[in-house]
Amino acid sequence: MKTLSITTLILALLFYLVDPTRACGEEVRVERSRPMMGTMVEITALGPDRDLCDRSVEQAFQEIEAVDRLMSSFKGDSQVSQLNRLAGKTWMVLDPEVLDVLEAAVLYSRLSEGAFDITVGPLLRLWGFYRDKGHLPSTQEIGQARSRVNYRDIEIDQPKGRARLKKPGMAIDLGAIAKGYAVDKAVEALKKKGIRKGLVNAGGDLYAFGRPEEKAPWLIGLQHPREREKVATVLEVEDRAVATSGNYERYFVLKGKRYTHILDPRTGWPIQGMASVTVMADSAMKADALATSVFVLGPQRGLALLNRLPGVEGIIVAEEGPGGKQLVPYFSKGLKGRVSLDF
């Protein structure tokens, strides 16, 4: 399971630990966290009065709850679970939000040449990621599951508001993109209520807007990939999303080897040799999907993808050398020489 510890520490908040709802000047700051979507979601709103902040934060949580209800693979009655049960059989009419996320997912599959693929469901099941108990599959089992993995077999019919999975046994999983989408929806809700400064963090997929203080943007600490309590670097963030995919969040160990929950759809195997990928972009959904894509692509091809997308930056930490013990950072063009990591 994804732990409740938070990938990304918000250093700025440390100054407010005494009282989470604290007036500063004429401004009120409301900060709440709740366990949701298999992680801890934190929402912060700054505004003119407590009541507005409270109501906005509540509304933002409800948006996230709604996304989870529609898109979770862990809820049998979600639209995603229903769509999976209809694989190879028939079309299903879906909420526009689900269709939009499916469409975006297919776009990221194309952009990443198949590294990102939400049809990895059969592989996730095979490796035991749905029952929290690892299983080392045989080559034959992997081959069988892989034959049902292909984003091109998702058919989306926007005019009729429906989609289908063409092959029996196919299953989609939105674990690499839905949290980012939920963060964007929560931010939209805060803004609609009139909040101009805020932060939504779903366990390392976050969006920060406005400035918490006149002179300073939001300060986002990136967790060290090996030592939970350590911060590898601090990023300044304003009106941007940051998402991190790591091999330390959900994994199992078999015979001394670590198997992470991010899989290579082409080989059917968990990705090796990557510690973490952090992506900055203009939406949390984009950052989330790209972080997973780059994690699968690896440092070279991953950097090439980040560098050709406008407004996107990223930090890749690879595990290199004997036993993968050495952490080696790679930076996209816009971050090179501007950010350093403290390992």
Sole window of 54-62, 94-102, 114-122, 159-167 interacting with ligand ADP (rule: CB under 6 A)? 114-122
Q: For residues 222 and 10, what is the distance between their CA atoms, to the nearest angstrom?
A: 9
Q: How far is the CB of 193 from ligand ADP (least distance, A)?
A: 27
Take residue 163 and report the two structure tokens written for it.
Answer: 């989609």
SS (H, E, C) 36-91: ECCEEEEEEEEECCHHHHHHHHHHHHHHHHHHHHHHCCCCCCCHHHHHHHCCCCCC
Q: Is the Cβ of residue 14 or residue 304 nearer to ligand ADP in the bound state?
A: 304
Q: How far is the CB of 110 from Mg ion (least distance, A)?
A: 16
Binding flag, residue 120, ligand ADP (CB under 6 A): yes
Contact of 105 with 118, CB cutoff 8 Å: yes
Binding flag, residue 202, Mg ion (CB under 5 A): no
Over the window 285 to 304, marking each residue x when it contacts Mg ion by CB under 5 A and - when it does not, the resulting string is ---x--xx------------
- The kind and range of the H/E element at 132 are none
Q: How far is the CB of 93 from ligand ADP (least distance, A)?
A: 24
Binding flag, residue 262, ligand ADP (CB under 6 A): yes
Binding flag, residue 292, ligand ADP (CB under 6 A): yes
Task: Look up residue 222 and give its DSSP letter.
Answer: E
C-alpha torsion sign, points 274, 75, 94, 96 = negative
Q: How far is the CB of 240 from ligand ADP (least distance, A)?
A: 17
Contacts of residue 165, defined as CB under 8 A and 6 or more positions apart, other chains included, come to 83, 84, 86, 87, 88, 119, 153, 154, 155, 171, 172
10 Å Cβ neighbour count for 239?
A: 13
Binding flag, residue 183, ligand ADP (CB under 6 A): no
Q: Is the Cβ of residue 176 or residue 222 nearer to Mg ion in the bound state?
A: 176
Residues making contact with Mg ion (CB under 5 A): 176, 288, 291-292
Residues making contact with ligand ADP (CB under 6 A): 116-118, 120, 124, 173, 175-176, 204-205, 245, 249-250, 261-263, 265, 288, 291-292, 295-296
